[in-house]
Amino acid sequence: MDGMLDPNDPRLSHAWDILKAQTPTGEAPPPESNLLAFADPEFLLRRETRGIRFQLEMLKPDIAQQEHGIEHTVVVFGSARFQSQEKAQKTLDTAKSSGNSSDIQRAQALVRNAHFYEQARAFGQLIAQYSANKHNPNKLFICTGGGPGIMEAANRGASEAGGISVGLNIALPHEQTPNPYITPSLSFKFHYFALRKMHFMMRAKALVAFPGGFGTMDELFETLTLVQCKKAKPVPIVLFGTSYWKKIFHPQAMLEEGVIAEEDMQLFRYVDTVEDAWEVIRAFYAL
């Protein structure tokens, strides 16, 4: 980063050496009261310094994206469990060999839903191809949660089309490693869900939600709420996979019960093809 201080500067070298001395296991050096504050991990992890950690998680991805010229993103959400057609078929073959009925059932669902992985991949390619010959502020960049499944597929498509893309990963009890298709310098890891969600919305020009579980629903409803309450600018909210979304999301029932307004039904659109998803975005911004 251009704004980075020189770690060889004598004023910082002591703190830098301490930071580098941390073991590969993550064990911090013994706390010493005379360490520079930013070189003392134990101090930085105190409850009282939480606000500083918030600020760091806000600034690091923001500065890096600015340096890459990323002003506008298309955020893609969806299941972390979905696999490519080839991988899903191999999973099913393995399950059949085991004879375990539960494994077979889960693997059959993976095969059934593999087309969503391929469509997310194609969508990532489309966005990267659109931006290839554009100049800022007209470029669009894929941004995902950085994990496997649909997230991997969208990053993969962008990478295959020669584009850069963003991954906003999250530290979880069951470790979620970044997928290999994120642009390395745009692969970020968050501790705080709130800061991660803020970064999803900061540059979002559209949200495309593929079928997914609790995480996808959380991110979808967060976006719907922010736009509904005018805490975020209006953006296209695209629900990819009409049959899936109409099966688990019942806004018409909410309307009939009087808990949302008629105009709230216009906050989102159902689509079933990559072309239709792009058309919703293109028409919204008259691209």
Residue 137 lies in a domain: yes
Per the structure, the count of domains in the chain is: 1
Residue 125 lies in a domain: yes
- 262: domain range? 59-285
Whether residue 35 lies inside any domain: the answer is no
- Classify residue 31: in a domain, yes or no: no
Q: Is position 107 within any domain?
A: yes
Q: What is the CATH number of the domain that holds 103?
A: 3.40.50.450
How many angstroms separate the CA atoms of 6 and 256, rounded? Answer: 61
**pLDDT value, residue 103:** 93
Asked, for residue 209, whether it belongs to a domain, the answer is yes
Q: What is the pLDDT of residue 176?
A: 76
**pTM of structure:** 0.87
- Per-residue pLDDT tens listing for the chain (287 residues): 455 556 556 555 554 565 566 545 555 555 566 778 887 888 888 999 999 999 999 999 999 999 999 999 999 999 999 999 999 999 999 999 999 999 999 999 999 999 999 999 999 999 999 999 999 889 999 999 999 999 999 999 999 999 999 999 998 887 678 999 999 999 999 999 999 999 999 999 999 999 999 999 999 999 999 999 999 999 999 999 999 999 999 999 999 999 999 999 999 999 999 999 999 999 999 99
In a domain, 45, yes or no: no
